[in-house]
Amino acid sequence: MTEKNAKKVINFQSLTEKVGRFDISGSQAMFLIPEMNRIGGHLLAATFRGFGIRSRVIGTYKGLDLGKEHTSGKECYPCQITTGDILYFLKKEKERLGKDFLPQNYIYFMPEAGGPCRFGMYNKYQRIVLDSFPEFRHVKIGSLTTSDGYSLDGLINPERVSGLRKAGYLSIVVTDVLERLLWRIRPYEIKPGITDEFIEKSMHIMEACFERYGAQQRFDKIIDRLESLIEEGKSLIKPDLPRKPLIGIVGEIYLRHHVHANQDLIRLLEHYGAEVVNASLAEWVNYTSYDRLREAKTAFRFSLKQMHLNSLKAHLKDILKYGGDLLYQQQKQKQVYKRAEKLIDIQPDHKVGHLEEILKENDIYSFDAGTEACLSISGIIQYAREGFNGVVNVYPFTCMPSTITSAIIKPLMNELRIPYLDTPYDGSFQPGREAAIRTFMYQAIQHFNRNGGKPSH
């Protein structure tokens, strides 16, 4: 432990008073969103701004040294990255504003999961780190939790909560569609670099749309604009290029989406001849609603058996709440994909209920055990059924759910004779990484050729 870490003292009051859900409506405070997924962060910040909430994305990966300095090495890699990001941002902000820097004017957004892995502890740990800097003690940490399905209650006026949730969810689905568009076009682009430029421009256009129409709930305007971007994107595909082997990605959500942290894995796979599809952001959001609904149903059945009439009402309320959220989300997602798929053959998303069925059929894991392993294991099997030519599991070194995934899925993939690769990351550059990816792609191309060289798409 470094000398600085040794000096960190836990103030338990701070953990409850300065970490949680704070009312940000009409506040002068700036809501700081970490950049896990570049497009997703920007569209979410724009959505918040549309609701009158000052909000911005903080840059990422410039503060990694700071993150490493203020962690002990036992934390997950995303914790080191995000700790570095917020410290770097605040230090730069303080330099920029001098004596006008007011820490109470910032709320750093760091969600959490109810367990069982370490994600529930990131924001508490980061609270301790911020408290170790006298100048940052008054920066609050705004947190949403999977324990209540990322409820936004208490964040803004109650009558606007539902609207914010709907617009926020749409921003996630639009992010997924823009990314699927990127991965569909880039391996076949007419000119090197043109897809990246187009997607960057599209992100800014969609940001403006969310800021303008999100709070008014004029979602058709947003989807109309998305459609016109898809039309434009299609023209960037070289028409005579044959389709390439299709590679699916699963794993830990932060690493899958953070291109610096995963050393731009998708681009590297494309470089060696792949077309890639990453598991979506919406899948995780749907999973949290699905899992809360599942828990509420179990609790309801249990109370009924025990004749606990008082708790029955509360569980029924939860069933309606989470069931309603899930229904809305899945319908909205379906609507957006349907409109996108009319224009271009992007990969559809997995339905969480179907993923649970897959696990039950194979009896290899259970949603009762929870974590992203539920989605990764079933997602890999679904990719296999859809005819993907290979799957990559992307995760932070020592990540618990992804290690479980790897242990369970490897023998199955051997049996199915579908190439599979684990890619753990911890910030270091492993000398054999590129060779492993090339070998994996060689196997994927063989799988593709064995199946007649036909794309599964």
Interacting residues with ligand SF4 (CB under 6 A): 76, 78, 117-119, 252, 372, 396, 399-401
At closest approach, how far in Å is the CB of 124 from ligand SF4? Answer: 12
Nearer to ligand SF4, 34 or 214 (CB): 34
Closest contact distance (angstroms) between CB of 38 and ligand SF4 is 19
Q: Which tokens belong to 246?
A: 């299709």
Closer of 211 and 372 to ligand SF4 (Cβ): 372
For residues 364-384, one letter each, b for 16 or more C-beta atoms within 10 angstroms of the residue's C-beta and e for the rest, the string is ebebeebbbbbbbbbbbbbbb
Q: What is the smallest separation between the CB atom of 398 and ligand SF4, expressed in angstroms?
A: 7
d(CA 118, CA 10) in angstroms, rounded, equals 18
- Residue 141, beta-bridge partner list: 19, 108
- Which of 144/399 has CB closer to ligand SF4? 399
- Smallest distance, ligand SF4 to C-beta of residue 151, A: 21
C-beta closer to ligand SF4: residue 103 or 120: 120
Residues counted in the chain:
457
The smaller minimum CB distance to ligand SF4, of residues 209 and 253, is found at 253
In contact, 44 and 111? CB cutoff 8 Å: no
Closest approach, Cβ 383 to ligand SF4, in A, equals: 20
Which tokens hold the place of 452?
């007649």
> Smallest distance from the beta carbon of 192 to ligand SF4, in angstroms?
34
Round to whole Å and give the CA distance between 199 and 169: 20
Report the nearest approach of ligand SF4 to the CB of residue 354 (Å): 23
Closer to ligand SF4 by Cβ: residue 283 or 372 = 372
Rank residues 165 and 258 by Cβ distance to ligand SF4 and give the closer one. Answer: 258
Closest approach of ligand SF4 to the CB of residue 50, in Å: 30
Of 340 and 394, the one with the shorter C-beta distance to ligand SF4 is: 394
Q: Least distance (Å) from ligand SF4 to the CB of residue 252?
A: 5
Decide whether 258 or 315 has the Cβ nearer to ligand SF4: 258
Q: Rounded to the nearest whole angstrom, what is the least distance from the CB of residue 41 to ligand SF4 in the complex?
A: 18
Between residues 111 and 323, which has the closer beta carbon with respect to ligand SF4? Answer: 111
